[in-house]
Amino acid sequence: MRIDVVTIFPGYLAPLRESLLGRAADAGLIEVALHDLRSWTHDVHQTVDDAPYGGGPGMVMRPQVWGEALDAVIASDSRPPRLVVPAPAGRSFTQATARAYATEQRLVFACGRYEGIDQRVVDHYSRQFPVDEVSIGDYVLVGGEAAVLVIVEAVARLLPGVLGNPRSAAEDSFSDGLLEGPAYTRPEVWRGQAVPEVLRSGNHGAIARWRRDRALERTAKRRPDLLAALPEDRLDAADQAF
């Protein structure tokens, strides 16, 4: 997978070269290219923003510089892109979105700042490529860079060969529609708290049932919306208690 990120703060995306993603890049599983939006300005001040039409607070990012940047970046690789624009007003980025993005040959991220990017940029590219405006949560960030770090990590970990243990991605939270339950490791007792006995029983059926119950319990308590959204056939008779 090829990932391009256009931003006025390329340094903010340096973590993409670290750890899991760094190893994935070294292994050729992911190719990451960072592009400084200001490279496509033509004035001495490298201006990327202007006052909003209709008035209001803050500044809006100018369409001209984004158009030149995205034309150049998209043309720099033959793989057809999905353009992803983080925005507080975007559709929610979920595990399902991550799974869908993991099947893409190429993702191009446009990181806005200020009050966002002139809407005509999204409208223009939506006529040529799939374009998603995505939110990573119901809170407002200062720009799109942090959202890109979140999205790229959630997507990259689903790519074959990136995670040491592929079962992790298959079994983690949200994969079966539920939050995952509590996890434990040694020591058996820590500050007077013992590991639940069933987990040390070796009875795999009982362990699976216990884990399912804890996941259902946690989901019912913390995210009843997820439980309500589960298709009927995903809950068996033993699950009906939740």
Rule CB under 6 A: which residues touch ligand JEW?
A: 86-88, 112-113, 115-116, 135-137, 139-144, 147
* Distance of closest approach, residue 149 Cβ to ligand JEW, in angstroms: 12
Question: Which residue lies nearer to ligand JEW by CB, 4 or 215?
Answer: 4
Contacts of 129 by beta carbon, 8 Å cutoff, 6+ apart: 74, 80, 81, 82, 83
Q: Please state the closest distance from residue 224 (CB atom) to ligand JEW, in A.
A: 22
Please pick, among 115, 123, 188, 197, the residue that the annotation labels catalytic: 115
Catalytic annotation on 157? yes
Residue among 67 and 90 whose Cβ is closer to ligand JEW:
90
Nearest alpha carbon to residue 34 among 64, 61, 62, 13? 13
**Residue 88 Cα distances to 91, 100, 146, 147, angstroms:** 9, 20, 12, 10
Active site residue 172: yes
Nearest approach in angstroms of CB 167 to ligand JEW is: 30
Q: Are 37 and 7 in contact (CB under 8 A)?
A: yes
Which residue of the set 106, 113, 157, 212 is catalytic?
157
The reply to whether 88 belongs to the active site is yes
Q: Are 147 and 188 contacting, i.e. CB atoms less than 8 angstroms apart?
A: no
Active site residue 63: no
Q: Residues 150, 109: contact at Cβ < 8 Å?
A: no
Q: Which residues are catalytic?
A: 88, 115, 157, 172
